[in-house]
Amino acid sequence: MGTFTPSNRQYEQHLREAFARQTIMTTIGARLAGVAPGNVEIELDFREDLTQHHGYLHAGVVTTILDSACGFAAFTLMPPESGVLTVEYKVNFVAPARGAKFLASGRVVRPGRTLTVCNGEVSAIDGEETRLVALMQATMFRLQGP
Amino acid sequence: MGTFTPSNRQYEQHLREAFARQTIMTTIGARLAGVAPGNVEIELDFREDLTQHHGYLHAGVVTTILDSACGFAAFTLMPPESGVLTVEYKVNFVAPARGAKFLASGRVVRPGRTLTVCNGEVSAIDGEETRLVALMQATMFRLQGP
Amino acid sequence: MGTFTPSNRQYEQHLREAFARQTIMTTIGARLAGVAPGNVEIELDFREDLTQHHGYLHAGVVTTILDSACGFAAFTLMPPESGVLTVEYKVNFVAPARGAKFLASGRVVRPGRTLTVCNGEVSAIDGEETRLVALMQATMFRLQGP
Amino acid sequence: MGTFTPSNRQYEQHLREAFARQTIMTTIGARLAGVAPGNVEIELDFREDLTQHHGYLHAGVVTTILDSACGFAAFTLMPPESGVLTVEYKVNFVAPARGAKFLASGRVVRPGRTLTVCNGEVSAIDGEETRLVALMQATMFRLQGP
């Protein structure tokens, strides 16, 4: 984190434009909370209409912000004119997703010409208290061309 | 599929009640399309407000219906007074999630007293054409008690 | 299974040569049990020197034959002059790996120009009895060139 | 790492006994390189008889030492009279496994009464040079009783 040098000097602008096109982010109320080379954070407030049957945030919603955080983290290190697609991911849920707010952070573990491997985590935040909720290990694919 | 005998005779009613409590299902417009012992299907229409940056259904939304399909498939084989939580899952995305409609199906591979392993898949449906979009392998946890 | 048409007419010979170069297969006593387009089976006898602390086959050994079965299944559908590398896999262990013999089978779910997605499973075999031991979901990478 | 307090005061002795019973470790020449609460390291020298078809260490062998490192890391935090089984894991291979020596390290991310989540990694070591080869995210199960 912080040890990567992006090859796309406008990576942050391109990332913010791509984030704005992810309509699901608006639908669930997620927003970009941090952007750095190889590292992206996304924030989400708890909402009653995003839950599973026990009233916690649904695992799929937790995964949605994790996937975007990891995918965009990979994107920060890609050359200009690249697109990013998710190849696959694995998520472990280590505590119920309850809390006032959730922070997903994705970071690049190993960037590659075609495939980039990322780790991500989501924490629940209640005032001062922060609790790990989920862990992701993901593979992202670089699409070439505009 | 079809070879499992549920121990909870009211499993379908309990499942439909739990599904109705998953507010995210209403938010994204997902609905139960099939319920059988060890097998659950969930349907979702494409919507412009559920997409990623290329206009396809976001991977997290694909995962949301897959997770519920697998979790509820596990639930059909649990004793009465059980709850179900997702331990972890892994999803491979094998084609862009574009199409008019999406069908997630989850099925139990191996039920267990505490842990149940499921496989799931999502297909995109356009008229007569059906295309595999994503594959899940998941572990579900049985909570005991009401 | 059986619905794939290999583009490399000598795929079986190339696969058997590559298998023979996997020295770990000889070390643990694994052998090719079946080869078809998009489908490969590997057999392993139980041995006392391949176990974990309870006397079952070690998860890593189960994974070793699963990985080769899935990797070679992907290889059967690749053009001539291709090599195959494992990008990633996920394995669920659903029963203790005890038995006289183990059969790993790998099959292609979706072949691709660069990435191929496979499913695999290992069963333990004791005379007439067959029991599912492990499930794999894997991504394989095609190396171009000789 | 270092922030966990083991409830089994003899955890290191029990771990070393269990490691000694893992016959596969002797077969491949793996040895314990470090034991601390929530953290275990295993070392392996490259050997010609542990390779895949390009002459690198086979992914299954990399996984074997990763699985034991993660499983034993979980074990260090379990109460006396516990056993440990692997529920599932996912491994990403980020570079070819070539090198003189390999070091697997497993660490507990979140210990639990029944399930413990671990992360692991394997590095290849050539003299002064260290290179990341593989990443694991794993779920371990605690067996109760002697």
Task: Give tens-digit pLDDT for D83-131.
Answer: 999 999 999 999 999 999 999 999 999 999 999 999 999 999 999 999 9
Q: With 90 as the cut, is the pLDDT of residue B140 above it? A: yes
Half-sphere exposure of A113 (CA within 13 A, CB side): 2
- Which of A92, A112, A139 shows the shortest C-beta gap to D117? A92
Is-contact D40 D76, C-beta < 8 A?
yes
d(CA D54, CA D48): 11
For D:24-43, CB contacts with A below 8 A are none
Q: With 50 as the cut, is the pLDDT of residue B115 above it? A: yes
Q: With 70 as the cut, is the pLDDT of residue B2 above it? A: no
D neighbours by CB contacts (3+ pairs under 8 Å) = A, B, C
| ipTM score of complex | 0.97
| Contact state of B68 with A86 under an 8 Å Cβ cutoff | no
Q: With 90 as the cut, is the pLDDT of residue B19 above it? A: yes
- A110 and chain C: CB distance < 8 Å anywhere? no
DSSP codes, B113-126: SSEEEEEEEEEEEE
**Closest Cα of chain D to B112: distance in Å?**
12
A neighbours by CB contacts (3+ pairs under 8 Å) = B, C, D
Task: Name the CATH superfamily, with its identifier, for domain B11-144.
Answer: Hotdog Thioesterase (3.10.129.10)
| Closest to D122 in 3D by CA, of D27, D52, D56 | D56
What pLDDT, in 10s, does the model give residues D123-137?
999 999 999 999 999
| Closest to A136 in 3D by CA, of D51, C92, C115, B89 | B89
Q: Pick out chain C residues at pLDDT < 50.
A: 1-2
What does DSSP say about strands A115-126 and B31-36: parallel, antiparallel, or unpaired?
unpaired
**Lookup: tokens for D91:** 């491994």
The whole-number pLDDT of residue A1 equals 46
d(CA D56, CA C48): 26
| Contact state of B110 with C94 under an 8 Å Cβ cutoff | yes
Instruction: Say what angle helices D59-75 and C59-75 make with each other, to 10 degrees.
Output: 150
Q: CA of A127: how far to CAs of A3, A120, A130, in Å?
A: 31, 22, 8
Enter the pTM of the model. Answer: 0.97
The whole-number pLDDT of residue A122 equals 98
- A112 and chain B: CB distance < 8 Å anywhere? no
d(CA C131, CA C126): 9
Average pLDDT of chain B is 96
Q: With 70 as the cut, is the pLDDT of residue B16 above it? A: yes
Q: A104 Cβ partners below 8 Å, 6+ apart?
A: A41, A42, A43, A44, A62, A65, A66, A68, A69, A120, A121, A122
In what side-by-side order are the strands of the sheet with C115-126? C31-36, C39-45, C101-110, C115-126, C129-144, C82-93, D82-93, D129-144, D115-126, D101-110, D39-45, D31-36
Q: Please identify which residue in the block is written with the tokens 């590398």.
A: C85
DSSP B49: G
- Which of C110, C135, C139 shows the shortest C-beta gap to B117? C135
| Contact state of A139 with C114 under an 8 Å Cβ cutoff | no
Q: Pick out chain A residues at pLDDT < 70.
A: 1-2, 146
Q: With 90 as the cut, is the pLDDT of residue B1 above it? A: no
The whole-number pLDDT of residue B146 equals 57
**CB contact burial B20-29 (16+ within 10 A = b; e otherwise):** eebbbbebbe
Residue numbers in C near A141 (CB within 8 A)? 115
d(CA D61, CA D92): 14
- C115 and chain A: CB distance < 8 Å anywhere? yes
DSSP A92: E
d(CA C32, CA C103): 10
**CB contact burial C6-44 (16+ within 10 A = b; e otherwise):** bebeebeebbeebbeebbbbebbebebeebbbbbbbbbb
Q: CA of B102: how far to CAs of B29, B35, B44, B47, in Å?
A: 11, 17, 5, 11
**Closest Cα of chain B to C36: distance in Å?**
22
Name the residue of chain C whose CA is nearest to B131's CA: C110
Q: What sign for the dihedral angle of Cα D48, D53, D56, D59? A: negative
d(CA C28, CA D26): 13
| Contact state of C88 with A141 under an 8 Å Cβ cutoff | no
**Lookup: tokens for C140:** 């394989």
| Closest to B92 in 3D by CA, of D47, C115, D102, C46 | C115
Half-sphere exposure of D110 (CA within 13 A, CB side): 18
Burial of A2 (0-12, 13-18, 19+ CB in 10 A): exposed
In what side-by-side order are the strands of the sheet with B39-45? A31-36, A39-45, A101-110, A115-126, A129-144, A82-93, B82-93, B129-144, B115-126, B101-110, B39-45, B31-36
Name the residue of chain C whose CA is nearest to B136's CA: C137
For residue A78, how many other CB atoms are within 10 A of its CB?
22
**Closest Cα of chain A to D20: distance in Å?**
30
The whole-number pLDDT of residue C1 equals 46
**Lookup: tokens for A94:** 């280590």
- B87 and chain C: CB distance < 8 Å anywhere? no
d(CA A52, CA A49): 9
| Contact state of C110 with B119 under an 8 Å Cβ cutoff | no
Encoded amino acid at A38, one letter: G
Longest dimension (CA), chain C: 45
Encoded amino acid at B54, one letter: H
Q: With 50 as the cut, is the pLDDT of residue B131 above it? A: yes
Domain residue ranges in chain A: 11-144
Q: What sign for the dihedral angle of Cα C54, C55, C60, C62? A: negative
**Lookup: tokens for B131:** 């295309």
Instruction: Say what angle helices D11-21 and D59-75 make with each other, to 10 degrees.
Output: 150
What pLDDT, in 10s, does the model give residues B83-104?
999 999 999 999 999 999 999 9
